[in-house]
């Protein structure tokens, strides 16, 4: 299988021409945007918490303080929805109704567990770090036992997922192209890295490392 099976939770009801379920598209959405929004339920109340996710195969991972509400509520088999989105611009149509936004998004559904076992947790944290910042692990000091204990890693196997992308000019009603005297187009938004800021406490003589050059503007 190279695609998620559209299911009750993931099958798009609206604008299904913008939907994709294949691994390549869904995984690309998660890989392109580390900041995600995790949805979970406590006593019937939904919560949405932003956090950093990373992906390996069909699994999403995130971590947090073992004392956090999100982590405590998810670590023993709770359902979650993890959504990533990038807001790429406003789509300005000739009618209010056809105004829209361009975006790249994906939603994944699954059941969460904490990674048990000291070594397994240490390995998962290393993989997160090495995935986000290849080459940096050798530069920083390692985790202490106390830090490991204070951290919980959550893993969610993706049971269902869908990507939804809009990336095009306005789509107006046919008669409005000629009938409405109105500028139409896209107001694009771009997110990018800008010049790195040294820690004000950085000791002299420590240069910005080569392995982070991918984060330069």
Q: Find the binder of its own copies among 16, 32, 56, 69 (CB under 8 A).
A: 69
Q: Which of 56, 76, 118, 215 binds its own copies (CB under 8 A)?
A: 215
Show Cβ contacts of residue 163 under 8 Å, excluding neighbours closer than 6 positions: 19, 20, 21, 25, 26, 28, 29, 104, 105, 106
Could you say whether residue 94 binds its own copies (CB under 8 A)?
A: yes
Cα 173 to Cα 14, 96, 98: the distances in Å are 18, 11, 8
Site string for its own copies, 156-175 (x = CB under 8 A): -------------xx-x---
> Which residue, 13 or 57, has its beta carbon nearer to its own copies?
13
DSSP-derived pairing of the beta strands 160-166 and 100-114 = antiparallel
Closest distance of CB 112 from its own copies, Å: 11
In this structure, are residues 150 and 168 in contact, taking their beta carbons and an 8 Å threshold? Answer: no
* Structural tokens at position 28: 């690309």
Nearer to its own copies, 7 or 116 (CB): 7
Tell me the three-class secondary structure of 59-106, residue by residue.
EEEEEEECCCHHHHHHCEEEEEEEEEEEEEEEEECCCHHHCEEEEEEE
Write down the least CB distance from residue 2 to its own copies, Å: 25
Q: Looking only at residues 131 through 160 of this chain, which bind its own copies when binding is defined by CB under 8 A? A: 132-133, 136-137, 139-144, 147, 150-151
Instruction: Output 2 or 144, the one with its CB closest to its own copies.
Output: 144
Q: DSSP E strands: which ranges in 115-159?
A: 151-157
Using CB under 8 A as the binding rule, whether residue 31 contacts its own copies is answered as no
Q: How far is the CB of 155 from its own copies (least distance, A)?
A: 17
Please report, in angstroms and rounded to a whole number, the separation of the first and last CA atoms in the chain: 38
Q: Out of 3, 56, 76, 99, name the contact with its own copies by CB under 8 A.
A: 99
Pick between residue 2 and residue 10 the one whose CB is nearest to its own copies: 10
* Residue indicated by tokens 């999403």: 60
* Residue 119 engages its own copies in binding (rule: CB under 8 A): no
- Indicate the residue among 24 and 182 with the shorter CB distance to its own copies: 182
Q: Which stretch binds its own copies (CB under 8 A): 19-27, 54-62, 84-92, 113-121?
A: 84-92
- The sign of the CA dihedral 209, 210, 214, 217 is positive
């Amino acid at each position: 299988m190279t695609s998620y099976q559209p299911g009750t939770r993931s099958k798009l009801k609206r604008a299904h021409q913008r939907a994709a379920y294949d691994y390549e598209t869904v995984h690309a959405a998660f890989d392109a945007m580390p900041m995600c929004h995790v949805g979970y339920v406590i006593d019937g109340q939904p919560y949405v918490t932003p956090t950093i996710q990373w992906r390996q195969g069909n699994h999403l991972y995130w971590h947090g303080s073992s004392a956090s509400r999100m982590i405590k509520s998810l670590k023993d088999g709770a359902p979650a929805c993890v959504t990533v989105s990038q807001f790429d611009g406003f789509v300005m149509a000739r009618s209010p109704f056809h105004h829209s936004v361009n975006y790249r998004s994906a939603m994944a559904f699954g059941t969460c567990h904490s990674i048990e076992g000291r070594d397994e947790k240490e390995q998962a944290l290393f993989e997160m770090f090495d995935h986000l910042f290849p080459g940096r692990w050798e530069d920083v000091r390692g985790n202490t036992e106390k830090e490991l204990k204070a951290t919980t890693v959550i893993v969610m196997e993706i049971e269902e997922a869908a990507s939804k992308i809009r990336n095009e000019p306005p789509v107006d009603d046919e008669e409005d192209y000629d009938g409405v005297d109105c500028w139409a187009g896209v107001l694009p938004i771009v997110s990018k890295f800008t010049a790195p800021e040294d820690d004000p406490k950085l000791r002299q003589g420590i240069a910005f490392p080569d392995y982070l050059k991918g984060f330069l503007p």
